[in-house]
Structure 1
Amino acid sequence: MIGTFADEQHFDILVLPETNLILIASVIEPLRAANRIAGRALYRWTLFSPNGQPVETTAGIPIPVSASFRPGQETDPLFVLSSYNWKKGATRELKFQLSRTARHRTLIAGIETGSFILADTSLLDGFSATTHWEDFEDFSTAYPQVNMIRERFVIDGKRITTGGSLPTLDLMLELIRRAHGYSLALEVSRLFIYEQERTRGDLLQVPAIGKMRIVDTRVQAAVKLMEETVETPLPLARLARRAGISARHLQDLFNDVMGVAPREHYLALRLNAARRKVIETRATFADIAAATGFNSASAFSRSYRAHYRESPSDTRRRLKAKT
């Protein structure tokens, strides 16, 4: 299931009327960005509506769909998106279709009030779940058979639920991380930085991967140093000293806040910078290695292959073949 996806993963996306435009984008745009950064189709998706007609969003902008939702025995993950008036869209026919398709799906996700639709169809019985914070108490009262958790998103086996648009973005970054690694998820997140904090006149970037939220100023300082020293990586002890804490404390903070060790985040930054150079320039691999803190082209190539499942040469050959 999650974390064991093939190189190309397909999602079915069912969009109900009165869904927020940003909610739809929060699902699709990270997948599109992952494809663009990877230089190949890691993800595909098909949009459905209950009746096959374009979905009227709350912004008044209709979203075209491929077809009406008439599931058979598809096994691809299914995302059910809903924002307002979910009861109006959760017809008896739709709930029957969801119940039937759930027997075959590798997972079903209730996005925002899509969680209500799954619960009303008994598809969350016995699972842990979440929903938008404004609806949390109402949900808990209406569906006591669901174990409600106050989180931005919850992944519990074959069920996923989210609490809104930005938590859904967090979720998609987490799914990308599980399927394709921290480096790609980090690079995608840097395209969707939506929390910023001003300190001493600097605009600090605050990326988000999964449930990661950099709120500790010492971790922020260490991340900023890493971004500024991609070419000449600093030892952990020096990073920690400049952040005002011990190396062990920084290690613990990173694991708590980011979910990874400092060296893993540092390496991801360097590899992402290297990958951009592989794709966007004609620089030699030796020059790219030197520019991103690797002591040799062979060491760079080994690390690149381990993270991206292809060598730098493979990347360039594949992209050249597409032109």
Structure 2
Amino acid sequence: MPEEFHFMLMPGFSALGFMSAVEPLRVANRFRPNLYRWRIVSRDGAPVVASNGISLNADTAFAQVEHAHTIFVIAGFDPLACYTRALGDWLKREYQRGATAGGIDTGSFVLAEAGLFDASHALTLHWEALAAFQERYPHLKTTQELFEIDARRITCAGGTASIDMMLDLIGRRHGADLAATISEQFVLSRIRQRSDRQRLEIAARYGVHNRKLIQVIGTMEHQIESPLSSDALAREVGITRRQLERLFSTILDDTPARFHLRLRLDRARELLQQTDMTVAAICAACGFESPSHFSRTYRAQFGVSPRSDRHAQR
């Protein structure tokens, strides 16, 4: 019998993450008929609108699915906006019956909310939502891998990483040759490994090649809640503050303080849009001295207050 996948689409789901998961199954069936079949599941059996505005018809409502083999929850921004106890109970019931539970993009939020993870198992999700996830579920172990396959729990960063995850699953079940054949159909030069990075290296993201500057930016990205002074950052890489400021000015046309501030504001915006944390809590998580200072700085950067920005996204 074909192996069956149920794709539970949350409103605003990532269309790219979904299609990148389904297409490898379709191509697998082209070369070896009837290996896989799949069904689209929604809250009520009605069509679901993706984050890009495309509407997909569902085959059934989740409450009608019993004894599933594999369930993938696919979400996008604000993954818990439509989460219900009934959905969580269904996921737990199917998992307890032996189903494999998967999360694509921010689908890991839904699985975590349903209680399907524990601290002993690693999971991943889209890098942009990682900080929000860690704030909500600090007891869970997260990685920045493209995907994690852990017994009957599978998580994936979404986007095109869904292709790599599915090729890995297909290769495990039906051999590396079939996975490679499918990869060639997508004109992929290689199948990425689980441990490949989600994001570009700092050098590629910012167009910098100075090793000390790359080290400092890496430190800044990890010191969002407790930002370091320029003096402390300079000491980290064994240079003076003046040398550090010259590096930022010459290569990035910026100052260390302004650069780090933008990183913190970008993180704050992610938390505003993807969590229900209070503005005060986000202020503290991003290293601002007071909510009023945070709000003024946020408005200066984005032209809107934190609260207004949050409401505009929902």
TM-score bracket for the superposition, by shorter chain length: 0.5 to 0.7
Q: Say which SS state the counterpart of residue 190 (structure 1) adopts.
A: helix
Task: Identify the match of residue 104 of structure 2 among 111, 120, 133.
Answer: 111
Is contact 2:145-2:195 (8 Å) kept? no
Matched residue, 1:84? 77
TM-score (norm 1): 0.57
Q: Distance in 2 between matches of 1:21 and 1:149?
A: 23
User: 1:145 Cα deviation (Å)?
Assistant: 2.6
2:159 maps to 165
Q: Which residue of 2 aligns with 1:50?
A: 43
Contact 2:46 / 2:58 at 8 angstroms: preserved in 1?
yes
Give the Cα–Cα distance (whole angstroms) in 2 for the partners of residues 212 and 29 of structure 1.
22
Q: What is the 5 A alignment of 1:172-191?
A: 172-191=166-185
2:194 maps to 211
For structure 1, list consecutive stretches of 5 or more residues without a partner in the other structure. Answer: 1-6, 195-205, 214-323
Give the alignment partner of residue 18 of structure 2, picking from 14, 19, 24: 24
Distance 1:212 1:152, change over 3 A: closer
For the residues of structure 2 that align with 1:120 and 1:172, how far apart are their CA atoms?
24
Return the alpha-carbon distance in structure 1 between the equivalents of residues 128 and 62 of structure 2. 29
What is the distance in 1 between the residues matched to 2:43 and 2:16? 20
Task: Quote how far apart the aligned CAs of 1:24 are.
Answer: 1.5
Give the superposition deviation at 1:135. Answer: 1.6
Relative to the length of structure 2, the TM-score reads 0.59
Q: Is the 8 A contact 1:77 1:107 kept in 2?
A: yes
Contact 1:186–1:209, Cα closer than 8 Å, also in 2: no
CA deviation after TM superposition for structure 1 residue 92, in Å: 2.1
Where do 5+ consecutive residues of structure 2 fail to align? Answer: 197-314
Distance 2:195 2:88 in 1: 34
Q: Are the counterparts in 2 of residues 12 and 79 from structure 1 also a CA contact under 8 Å?
A: yes
Q: CA RMSD in A?
A: 1.8
- Report Cα offsets for 1:64-116 as digits up to 9, x if no partner: 11111115640411111111221112122211222222211331001111001
- Alignment check: 8 A CA contact 2:148 2:194 kept: no
Query: Does the Cα contact within 8 Å between 1:47 and 1:66 map onto a contact in 2?
Result: yes
CA distance in 1, matches of 2:124, 2:194: 14
Alpha-carbon separation, structure 2, partners of 1:97 and 1:212: 31
Paired residue for 2:61? Answer: 68
* Alpha-carbon spacing, 1:88–1:30, altered in 2? closer, same or farther (3 Å): same
- Is 1:128 aligned to residue 122 of structure 2? yes
Q: Distance in 2 between matches of 1:156 and 1:212?
A: 14
- Given the superposition, is the C-alpha separation of residues 105 and 12 from structure 1 closer, same or farther in structure 2, using an over 3 Å criterion? farther
- The one-letter code of the counterpart of 1:178 is R
Whether the 8 Å CA contact 1:173–1:209 is kept in 2: the answer is no
| Counterpart Cα distance in 2 of 1:149 and 1:170 | 16
SS in 2 for 1:187: helix
Give 1:209 deviation, angstroms: 5.0
SS of the counterpart of 1:74?
Answer: coil
Amino acid at match of 2:60: A
